[in-house]
Chain A
């Protein structure tokens, strides 16, 4: 029961609570799932959820995404991934993604690559309920040579050559956001940019949606801040409160990405033995997300905190 009791006008009898634990939410994802994770480059990835998937030793995921970093890299390094559909996997200022690099060089994962705006548009295409769309921006590149899903077509309207590509069509989408309520409404700050907007588009592309949030807020807050409610609850399958749940990526306007941690990750992930130790320490070796945060330490968490963000 939220503080302040029921709000009669909107809380109907039988209104379903979607709040659950991290492990309950992660158990919804089965081996071989076609899945998209929210966030972009080193921002807003649902990392706590990803760590839980690794702890559960999930296998054979097909990840459909656009611009990924440590989220995809750690899943690849932990052996959870069969195929990736993407435009970028890298650690931005920290260089190449070491596990991704190693796995591709060893031929261990399948790839289907698209240019970045096309990778974004694949989610919009799903959100519109369409199965494909035309584009001309990959003409002349070698991408279609190795990605059979980039097909050629002549436009029936202007007779020009173009490519058609399929919608993203994820079975599950998992996002990390600032706030939500126990019924699955998700609030974003007003001052959104590409990482947040892409998450909102992904939420519309999802058949099933899990959202981890920094804070599950009182129902009354949602009613007062309704202009910030960007994911209406009927879209959400499960919602989980996970403070600092995007660490070491950022939760934009709540905390920055942990540059020291990512720098360390980029270093240790280069060596498979060192990476294994990292996984043992930060993923398998902790029993809960709180234990993980204790390991990171209060000082670091306070250092990356950005109260109010850009308001």
Chain B
């Protein structure tokens, strides 16, 4: 790892490059402190960076209701998405359950962020249980909003800790539908959303082959070796292309924006 920036800054900059102008982006509730960092704080930093660089007309929806909050003023580390403190976060608007800021069913959410205990080679995700549903080895949190993220949103960015057990051939329970069982899977279901587009981890980035719909390694973060990635990836299919580039480094300007404008207090990205 280059000492000039942290891996969280690399991730935030990489996330910002996946986002486009004139889009609405959605993040929701996370469970557990690691997931809160990966799924809430790093994506907020990435979204804010995109807004400050190439996507000024985009819209951030935190938990679906807090519209375009001022990132540098985040009052907490996103420990709870409806806490009194978070309500003091200055923002452009508040949605409510009857008059939602954007309707997923109408295709008005372009990008969502999701995590999982398991992601499989076709991008299906699981946050319900490990093992058999009726007698699980580990019972997890339940589907919450993951079904809609994968069935209705324009595309889903999966953010997950790079542990071997998280990458499986087939998830034990589909709570977020990726490409189901391969090409044509989503089309058979008649889904309006695009499904998973990318898997971000603390070590690497995966995307999906447009023909086979299989996950494949897209880039490896600076300072991480291919061997280290393979040791921590449970996929058994051939997911390593002939050459895998290093994840593009944040530019000096991106680092300046992250440290001075977006997150001057280091709440979003631990330093």
Contact = CB atoms under 8 A, between A and B. Distances in A.
A259 B79 contact: yes
B101 interface: no
B144 A42 contact: no
Interface in B71-90: 79-85, 87-88
B94 interface: yes
Contacts of A105: 135-139
Contact of B143 (A97, A101, A114, A197): A114
Contact of A140 (B65, B139, B142, B186): B186
B179 to A, nearest CB: 10
Given A91-B31, A115-B143, A139 B80 contact: no
B104 interface: yes
Nearest to B180: A140
Interface in B173-193: 173-177, 180, 185-186, 189-192
A256 B32 contact: no
B142 A141 contact: no
A274 interface: no
Interface residues of A, number: 57
Interface stretch (A82-90, A174-182, A209-217): A82-90
Interface stretch (A20-28, A188-196, A219-227, A232-240): A188-196
B134 A192 contact: no
Considering residues B29, B87, B144, B152, which has the most beta carbons from chain A within 10 angstroms of its beta carbon? B144
Given A114-B143, A309-B84, A142 B175 contact: yes
B141 interface: yes
Interface in B142-193: 142-148, 150-152, 173-177, 180, 185-186, 189-192
B36 interface: yes
A163 B199 CA distance: 29
B82 A137 contact: no
B5 interface: no
Nearest to B85: A256
A285 B98 CA distance: 43
B57 interface: no
Contacts of A253: 84, 87
B3 interface: no
B92 to A, nearest CB: 16
Contact of A120 (B30, B97, B147): B97
A139 B190 contact: yes
Given A90-B31, A93-B36, A256-B85, A140 B191 contact: yes
A120 B133 CA distance: 23
B33 interface: yes
Interface in A122-143: 136-143
A252 B147 CA distance: 28
A194 B97 contact: yes
Nearest to B86: A193
A201 B173 CA distance: 31
A40 B82 contact: yes
A281 interface: no
Contact of A107 (B96, B128, B134, B141): B134
A96 B141 contact: yes
A117 B174 contact: no
Nearest to A193: B82
B105 interface: yes
Contact of A198 (B30, B81, B97): B97
B147 A95 contact: no
B22 to A, nearest CB: 24
Nearest to B177: A140
A256 B97 contact: no
Nearest to B174: A142
B140 interface: yes
B138 A197 contact: no
A143 B31 contact: no
Contact of A115 (B31, B32, B141, B147): B147
A161 interface: yes
B80 A43 contact: yes
A92 B31 contact: yes
Contact of A101 (B94, B138, B151): B138
A134 to B, nearest CB: 11
Considering residues A95, A140, A142, which has the most beta carbons from chain B within 10 angstroms of its beta carbon? A140
Given A41-B80, A141-B174, A142-B175, A201 B148 contact: no
A95 B87 contact: no
Contacts of A140: 150-151, 174, 177, 180, 185-186, 189, 191
Given A143-B147, A193-B87, 11 more contacts: A42-B80, A92-B31, A115-B145, A117-B145, A140-B186, A142-B174, A143-B143, A192-B96, A256-B83, A256-B84, A259-B79
Interface of B: 29-33, 36, 63, 65, 79-85, 87-88, 94, 96-98, 104-105, 128-129, 133-148, 150-152, 173-177, 180, 185-186, 189-192
20 contacts: A41-B81, A41-B82, A43-B82, A90-B142, A93-B32, A95-B32, A105-B137, A137-B147, A138-B143, A140-B151, A140-B185, A140-B189, A142-B128, A142-B175, A160-B190, A191-B87, A193-B94, A198-B97, A250-B84, A252-B83
9 A-B pairs closest in CB distance: A140-B177, A90-B141, A115-B147, A104-B139, A137-B148, A88-B144, A93-B79, A116-B145, A101-B139
